[in-house]
Amino acid sequence: MFAKFKELREGLERTMAEEQARLKASAEQNADTEQNAQNGLENAPPAEFEKIFKDAFDDSKERANSPRRSDVSRSAAPGAAIKSDDDDSRPKNKDSVQANGGDTGKAVVTDAPGTNSDANLSPELVKRLKKLKKVEGAYGALLRSYRIAHTKVSMLDNLERVLRENSLVDNIEDPDAVIDYINNINMQKKLYQEESSRLSVENHNLAKESTAYQKELTVLRDEIATLKTTETDETATLASERNGKAQGEGHDYKHEVLQLQAELASKLEENAKLTSEVDSMKKQRSSDEETIDKYTKNSKDILKLMDENSELRKSIEKTDARAKKLEAECKQLQAQKERLRLPPSTPTAPTSSTVSVTPMSKKAAKNNRKNAKKDGASHPPADSQPSEPAESTQSPSVEHTNAEALEAEVLKLKEEIANKDVQIEKLSKQRKNEEDLLENNATLEESVMHLGDDNIELKKRVKALEIEKDEIKLQNGEIKERMKGLQDDNATLQSRISELQKELACSTETNEQAEAASEWKAKYDLVKKEFDELKVQSQTIESELGAVQKLAQERFEKLTQAKDIASRLQTEAKALKQDSAALKATKEQLESKQKELRALEKQMKELKTEVNRLQRVAADRDSEIKQLHDSIVALKKSQAQQEDQRRAVQREIKRIEVEKEKAVSVAEKSKQEVENVQAELSKLRPKIFELEQELIVIRADKDRADEIIKLRTEQKNKVEELMTSMQNQSNELTMRLREAETKKESVEEELAEVQRHLDERTSEHDAMRRVLTETAEGANAKVNDMKSRMEAAIKEHEEAEQEYLNDKRKHTREIEGLRTKVREKERELEALRKDKADLEARETEWSQRRDALGQIQANAEADAETISSLQSALDASEQQVRDAEKEKIDLRKLLDEARSQYEEANKANRELKSAQSQLRSSKGDNSDEQINLTYVVNVMYSFLNAKNNDTRSKLVPF
């Protein structure tokens, strides 16, 4: 035992020494090959690695020359000395080989001089070692490339996740979409920058304008203060001059100035009167417009009632026709009743005749009715000889059927009578309503006549105002002539002043005259200023008179319109009167018919005993009567509402009359107040300066209003820009939809090709099904995304429309508040209305595009249905594939069993290797790490076959 063990030990040591010497000799070659493999295989595809491993571990060619079990056990030792799991473990093995190579190499040379180191190894082991070298060279590069690919995949997954969360792009497969998204973001940034720059420039300009306005305000305030001081000084000088002594010529000039001032005061009073009259005219115009609107509304109501009246006439004609029919039927029934009341004749015919007549009883009754209709009620039954044998042959069953028919007809007649009573009540109520309407029409005509009288009075006032205007013009001409005379006097005064100045050089006594001349100059300047003010006031009065004339013309046009409406109403009232007369005649006819129907009711009381049997049938029709009653109640309610409206109109007319009386009283009061104001005008001159200040404030308000209008126009421009951006987005969406359609068409073509090749390629069903499902899911996802985007775009469009409408409403409200102050901005409003029309046209285009998108969505749904049909066809083919998968599962089970056996063999091999390592440790030599080639091969094979990154990361951890 020990001898054998020593022999085995010595053999193992020899082989190890030879292997170490060989490795030491080929260390340099291995370094070069590793560098070349690292440089060449880092970026190599996986197919090259598969080829290397297949070539390295393909033992099918060498199974025939398999060595004995003792040789395999011997050759396992040198293979156990090498292990290269990672890149970090490889250089350690090299160092160990170099460190332990010296002594062993010497031993080998001494033991077997002149022999080769590979002579004692088996050829299979040599081949395996060569293959191991190839694998070692490729394994490091494969690990590096795998780690790089894993990092790239993880980075790409993160990038796609970020793109899905923060953008419209789903994958990196479409680089054009990513570029479009980035370009859109850049465009938005540019737009925002442009808007911010434009707004900053506008703010800067507004700040400059505000500073300029503030400076102007300060200047105007200073001017007002100086004017106040000058006026106070001038009033003081005038008072001193009035009290002081002056020359004869100066006294005449002062007298003229006082006259001019008195005339100015009278003209101011007249101006105030004219303004008050203009205001009263405006108020009357507004009240007249309201009354005209009310009259137009009343005329519309009258037209509606006319239409209802025509409908009721038609219904009356229908009821008349039905009443005539009922009268004819009543006559027929009376004739039949008289026939039935006759005593039955003795039966002369044989029994066979009676038997033959009984089945024909119904036909006989019908023939009797027809004969009664043809003959009428004029022919009595006693005179009719051919009817006697028929009556003699009738049985009691015939009489019973006739009685039932009569009962049914009687019930019908009662129902029709009730309906006619209801209709008569409706017509009476309608007549009352028409009479009320006629009264309202008469009141409206009276009010229109009053309005005509008021308009005539207003025309007289306008003519008086025009006469006053002519008088004011004449007075202005006289004032101008006086001013020319004053200018001539001023020239004479200037000549005298020049003479006085010459005399001043000669004597010192003329200084007082020079001072008087300067005072006269100041007074002249004041008079000139007052003349300019009078000119301005006369111009304002002329403009106001022109406005008054325009108002009078508009009022005259409205009066003509009101007269036309009144004439129309008169014609309509005449037509209503004629209709009411016709209705009266129809009512009389209906009353006569009612009398006849009552007579018929007295005759029908005899048949009440037989009618009681048919009350059950009448109970079923009570529900219909209730419905009719409900309809009558609804009509009554509507009539009550119309009466309430009429009463409200009357109240409003009364209120208008009260307001007119109040306005007359207010006008009288205003006349008294005007007389008081004329007395106080001389005292209220200092308040003119306050009014000028208010004018300044109003101008500032006007400027603010202009600024507000500018801001609103800017907001409108922004909204238009938003609309353009929305249109651009819609265009982008349409482009993407077209791309999606092209992709769908390509997918449909691929599906067609798959259908062609389904019969030939059954083995490729799994791959094709995956591709189809992925494409279908992608298409559906894209369609859903496009739908969501379209919905978001539509929502944004609706929000923009709502914002635009809100801004528009605010804009109109502010314009209505500022119309009285700013009339010059009406042209801009017309331009805004044109823009609104353009926007509405764009909205119509947008709705058309939306409809087109809806059609595209319908096409996409149809495509999805075709895809679902193709998938159902694929499901049929998948059943065959499932059978193949079952066979695959069985084969996998066999593979698992083989792998379990292989693992048991590996365990035995590991136990042998552990025994060898114990032997080495007992000897004291340095133990090298082992390389489990089978485990490395299995790991690499599974790594290359795995497609998911998770499984790869589990197989090869980092």
User: Are 726 and 841 contacting, i.e. CB atoms less than 8 angstroms apart?
Assistant: no
Give the model confidence (pLDDT) of 508-523 as tens digits.
555 565 566 667 767 7
Give the per-residue pLDDT at 113.
38
What are the φ/ψ torsions at residue 290 (nearest 5 degrees)?
A: -65, -45
What is the SS3 assignment for 662? helix
E-only strand ranges, 196-328: none
Which residue in 547, 556, 533 sits closest to 277, CA to CA? 547
Q: What angle do CA 666, 667, 672 make, to 5 degrees?
A: 95
> 228 pLDDT exceeds 70?
no
CA distance 361 to 381: 19
The residue whose two tokens read 């156990």 is: 80
- At residue 299 the predicted structure's pLDDT band, cuts being 50, 70 and 90, is low
Instruction: Retrieve residue 800's tokens.
Output: 């923009």
Instruction: At 865, list the tokens.
Output: 């249905």
- The CA distance from 234 to 248, in Å, is 21
Burial class of residue 919 (count of CB atoms within 10 Å of its CB; 0-12, 13-18, 19+): middle
Return the pLDDT at 441. 66
CA dist., res. 723 & res. 801, Å (int): 9
Which residues have C-beta within 8 Å of that of residue 877, sequence separation ≥ 6?
758, 762, 765
For residue 926 the two structure tokens come to: 């340095």
Residues 6+ apart with CB under 8 A from 343: none
**Distance between CA atoms of residues 776 and 864, nearest Å:** 8
Side-chain half-sphere CA neighbours of 442 within 13 A: 8
| Mean pLDDT (the chain, rounded) | 67
Q: Quick one: three-class SS letters along 703-756?
A: HHHHHHHHHHHHHHHHHHHHHHHHHHHHHHHHHHHHHHHHHHHHHHHHHHHHHH
Q: Which residue has the tokens 């009246």?
A: 309
Q: Which residue has the higher pLDDT, 704 or 323?
A: 704
Q: pLDDT tens digits, residue range 634-655? A: 777 777 777 787 777 777 777 7
pLDDT, average across residues 680-687: 66
Strands (E), 424-560: none
Tokens of 259: 């006259």
Average of per-residue pLDDT across 358-384: 42
CA 676, 678, 682: angle at the middle one, nearest 5?
Answer: 115
User: Looking at residue 380, what is its pLDDT?
Assistant: 39
pLDDT value at position 363?
Answer: 41
* Whether the predicted pLDDT of 403 surpasses 50: yes
User: Do 156 and 178 touch, CB atoms closer than 8 A?
Assistant: no
Tell me what the mean pLDDT of segment 889-899 comes to.
78
Q: Which of 475, 39, 436, 508 is nearest to 271 (CA)?
A: 475
**What is the DSSP annotation of 281-306?**
HHHHHHHHHHHHHHHHHHHHHHHHHH
Rounded distance between C-alpha atoms, residue 455 and residue 448, angstroms: 10
688-697, 787-796, 929-938: the lowest-pLDDT one: 929-938
Which whole number is the average pLDDT over 836-843? 78
Number of H helices and number of E strands within the chain?
Answer: 20, 0
Check whether 123 has a pLDDT greater than 80: yes
The identity of residue 205, as a single letter, is: N
- Is the Cβ–Cβ distance between 284 and 663 less than 8 Å? yes
pLDDT tens profile 736-764 = 777 877 777 877 777 777 667 666 666 66
> Which residues neighbour 258 within 8 Å (Cβ) at sequence distance 6 or greater?
none
Residue 256 CA to residue 483 CA, distance in Å, equals 10
pLDDT band at 109 (very low <50, low <70, confident <90, very high): very low
Structure tokens at 665: 């009283």
Structure tokens at 552: 């009078």
Q: What does the DSSP 8-state code read for residue 331?
A: H
Higher-confidence residue: 233 or 35?
233
Confidence of residue 678 (pLDDT cuts 50, 70, 90): low
**CB 789, CB 168: distance < 8 Å:** yes
The lowest-confidence range among 216-230, 285-299, 728-742 is 285-299
**Contact indicator for 753, 711 with CB cutoff of 8 Å:** no
Reduced to 3 states (helix: H, G, I; strand: E, B; else coil), residue 951 is helix
pLDDT band for position 687 (cuts 50, 70, 90): low
- The conformation of residue 921, written as its DSSP 8-state character, comes to H
Determine the pLDDT at residue 857: 74
Dist CA 180 CA 190 (whole Å): 15
**Nearest residue to 227 (alpha-carbon basis) of 646, 789, 686:** 686
H runs (alpha helix) in 758-822: 765-818
Going from N- to C-terminal start, the domains of the chain cover 11-166+927-955, 174-244, 253-341+398-680, 701-886
> Three-state SS for 241?
helix
pLDDT at 861: 78
* Side-chain half-sphere CA neighbours of 8 within 13 A: 15
pLDDT at 382 over 50: no
- Would you give the end-to-end CA distance of the chain in angstroms? 48
Q: Which pLDDT score, from 0 to 100, does residue 955 have? A: 63
Closest by Cα among 557, 558, 560, 572 to 442: 572
